[in-house]
Amino acid sequence: MKIALAGNPNSGKTTLFNAITGKTEYVGNWPGVTVEKKEAFLKTKYQISKSKVRIVDLPGAYSIAPYTGEEAITRDFVTGEKPDVIINIIDANSLERSLFFTTQLLELEIPVVIALNKQDVLKRHGDVIDSVRLGALLNCKVVETVANKGKGVRRLIEDAIEAASMKSIHTSPDLDFSIVSDEDNARQKFTGMIAQECHVSNRDTNDISLSDRLDRIVAHKWLGLPIFFLVMWAVYAFSIEGLGGFLSEYLNETVFGEIVPNAANAFFEGIDVNPLLQSLIVDGAIGGVGAVIGFLPLIMVLFFCLGLLEDSGYMSRVAVVMDRFFKKIGLSGKSIIPMIVGSGCAIPGVMATRTIEDINEKRMTTILTPFVPCGAKIPIIALFSAVFFPNASWVGPSMYLLAIVMIALGGLLLKKIFVWENTSIFLIELPEYKIPSVRHAITQMLKHAKGFIIKASTIILVMNTLVWFMQAYGWNLRPVTIQDASILASFGGIISPLLIPLGFVGWQLAAAILTGFVAKENVVATFAVLLAVASEDALYLPGGVLSGIFNPVTGYAFLAFNLFTPPCFAAIGAMNSELGSKKWLFRAIGFQLGVGYMVAMLISQIGSIIVYGETAIGFGYSIVVLVSIVFLVIRLIRKSDSNVKQVLTEAREGGI
Amino acid sequence: MPTIIVGIIFFGIIAFAAYKSRESIKNNSCPGCSGSCTIEKKQKCGR
């Protein structure tokens, strides 16, 4: 049996899906979180018979006639794959609007059971919906639910399975075309009539809700942005410099700095394992993976805080605040949602761009979303903060701020090069503020932690083993006495000259950057492997071994380089899917490389002059590169301008 | 002998990790990615 969950965005479909399947799919308190259908089997405790029940969570839709890509997924599924029953999740607080989609579902000749969700919020407002009357008017079963607390869920599932077994088909809603001939208007009139008959509102319309009062400050056109920065500052400072940093320091210093390697060395020496294999396992695998896993507490604290923020309803206000600014650069508040999702992982962030209908805006958002510091970049930020800026709380938040500035500048530049006008209108339904659920935050935190551990024990483990081998062996496949003669040094040596204008000297940096393209955490792991072999000093200590190849300015420039250059392979794959053409993918990668390179170069060279009163290494080369890039950008802009002029002239001549 | 046993176990783990990584990257998803992986993709990843 197949049960589909369908309803308007942010009605609680994925919350219900997680509750009845035991999954932990991403839930956000804003519309447009789910962009793909997700499937899982019904939990055993809800099963009535032995036959397995498949639950399909569909992206939110306002109508069966799709307006966005993810609405089309919902339409295609309910009309094409014909589930046995549809559970239509309705936000009880938006009854009239939700019923528009409900009436369309009722016409599909598929059994429908309505989940009248968010009853707790409805009751808090003193409102009542007569669910029995609603069911009678729509000729289907209606169950009152509070999905995030599991209330009414069992009855809902039982009713859905019963409806599917009986194949109870509803009579289509009786739309009245006597006054309005248009179907949409007739449908709206019908839903309005039903809502009026079933919904008793005890709200004082003059009373301004707490949410509205809070929005006057939080979503204020001038205060909104500084408040957002303050909030992100607090989150990052607490995660990197506060509790997260404290716990990570212990894990790095004691657990992976002493206990684990000492125990492993003692064990391997005890059983007389070959020293090279011992070094590979302890310095390569354990050292590299340990350096990344050491930042696990920090990641957990960060995602716990972000989970609380998401669930409170604040993040949708950020989209509203940013819409005004994003409009000026050819984007809109719609672009903010993928960027917020991208702060967890760039892949779902890039995938979330499919909620954007305007193709240009979608492309720009896909290119710019990986600029947001994702979870994988956090260990790099934390490592460089600890080494070069100990006890400074501004480094993490400054990366976020820098990302927003570069998104704005990058958007402007892309708009100038690929000339287009933004016609997109941003409408978002703001959920009410609520006290965030600690359970939700813990679920999100554990989900990210699990992902982080899996990543460290797969792709990062493999890369570290490879890095250790390549730094220990030469091309003749014999161990080398100095790293400079290794395979890795020769690879790094090929691209290291390109990094000189950035003030980055050394093949080790180039090697770390190369491995970072596979997964960003590899940057930290590669330094751990390379520098642990070369030095006894701990990697993460202030003034430690990293200080030999960076100073604070070039260290900060290196952070910016890793922030803006193309994301990991998997995220590039997601970009390829969403951009839909190789031409745009190469443009995106070229743009990200260019931005990362330029920003790092400017920080390094200008920063060195300001901070040290002298230029960084490679200043002369940087001038040449700067002039070349500026020349290239001007040329691209002129070319696009002349294309526009040509189109306009042709249009005039053609009398258009 | 201990070197051979430890080597087999270690490289076995690496081979398994490499296989998992390859499968995940093929499906546009990092291993352990918290992203919106569909059930079809998850089945391909073996997750």
With bands split at pLDDT 50, 70 and 90, how would you rate the model's confidence at B26? low
For residue A68, is it within any domain? yes
What's the average model confidence in pLDDT over A87-115?
90
User: Would the pLDDT of B42 be above 80?
Assistant: no
Q: What is the pLDDT of residue A644?
A: 75
User: Are B2 and A271 in contact (CB < 8 Å)?
Assistant: yes
For residue A39, is it within any domain? yes
Cβ-based neighbours of A55, under 8 Å, separated by 6 or more: A3, A5, A17, A20, A21, A39, A40, A41, A42
User: Are A519 and B20 in contact (CB < 8 Å)?
Assistant: no
- C-alpha span between A352 and A372 (Å, rounded): 14
What's the average model confidence in pLDDT over A64-70?
73
User: Would the pLDDT of B41 be above 80?
Assistant: no
User: Are B24 and A273 in contact (CB < 8 Å)?
Assistant: no
Do A239 and A186 fall into the same domain?
A: no
Q: What is the pLDDT of residue A178?
A: 64
User: Are B35 and A450 in contact (CB < 8 Å)?
Assistant: no
Q: What is the pLDDT of residue A498?
A: 92
Q: Which residue of A has its CA nearest to B9?
A: A281
Q: What is the pLDDT of residue B13?
A: 92
For residue A627, is it within any domain? no
Chain B, residues 8-47, CB within 8 A of chain A, namely: 10, 13-14, 17-18, 20-21, 24-25, 28-36, 38-39
Specify the CATH number for the domain of residue A103. 3.40.50.300
Q: What is the pLDDT of residue B33?
A: 47
What's the average model confidence in pLDDT over A470-497?
90
User: Are B34 and A25 in contact (CB < 8 Å)?
Assistant: no
User: What is chain A's mean pLDDT, rounded?
Assistant: 85
Do A37 and A125 fall into the same domain?
A: yes
Do A176 and A252 fall into the same domain?
A: no
Q: Which residues of B touch A280 (CB under 8 A)?
A: 10
For residue A335, is it within any domain? yes
User: Are B17 and A40 in contact (CB < 8 Å)?
Assistant: no
Quote the domain boundaries for residue B25.
2-46
The pTM score is 0.80
What's the average model confidence in pLDDT over A130-143?
89
What's the average model confidence in pLDDT over B14-31?
75
Q: Which residue of A has its CA nearest to B29?
A: A570
Q: Specify the number of domains making up chain B.
A: 1
% pLDDT > 90, chain A: 22
- C-alpha span between A32 and A30 (Å, rounded): 7
Instruction: Decide which of A428 and A581 is more confident.
Output: A581
Q: What is the pLDDT of residue A602?
A: 94
Report DSSP state, residue A479: B
- C-alpha span between A91 and A93 (Å, rounded): 5
Q: To probe the interface with A, which of B4, B28, B37, B40 has the most A CB atoms within 10 Å?
A: B28
For residue A622, is it within any domain? no
- Is residue A7 helix, strand or coil? strand
Q: Which residue of B has its CA nearest to A276?
A: B3
Given a contact cutoff of 8 angstroms between Cβ atoms, the answer to whether A485 and A471 are in contact is no
- Out of A34, A273, A454, whose CB is closest to B31? A454
User: Are B21 and A285 in contact (CB < 8 Å)?
Assistant: no
Measured CA to CA in angstroms, residue A518 lies from A253, B26, B35 at distances of: 26, 13, 17
- C-alpha span between A467 and A287 (Å, rounded): 12
User: Would the pLDDT of A572 be above 90?
Assistant: no
What's the average model confidence in pLDDT over A541-545?
76
Q: What is the pLDDT of residues A158-198, one digit of tens each?
A: 999 988 888 766 666 676 666 666 777 888 888 888 888 88
For residue A285, is it within any domain? yes
- C-alpha span between A353 and A196 (Å, rounded): 37
For residue A648, is it within any domain? no
ipTM for the predicted complex: 0.74
Do A170 and A306 fall into the same domain?
A: no
Counted across chains A and B, CB pairs separated by less than 8 A come out at 106
Q: Which residue of B has its CA nearest to A578?
A: B28
Quote the domain boundaries for residue A340.
225-430+447-617
Q: What is the pLDDT of residue A574?
A: 84
Do A43 and A133 fall into the same domain?
A: yes
For residue A218, is it within any domain? no
Shortest distance between the Cα of B6 and any Cα of chain A, in A, equals: 8
Q: Specify the number of domains making up chain A.
A: 2
Do A487 and A530 fall into the same domain?
A: yes
With bands split at pLDDT 50, 70 and 90, how would you rate the model's confidence at A424? low
User: Would the pLDDT of A115 be above 90?
Assistant: yes
Instruction: Quote the longest CA-to-CA distance of chain B.
Output: 46
Do A178 and A291 fall into the same domain?
A: no
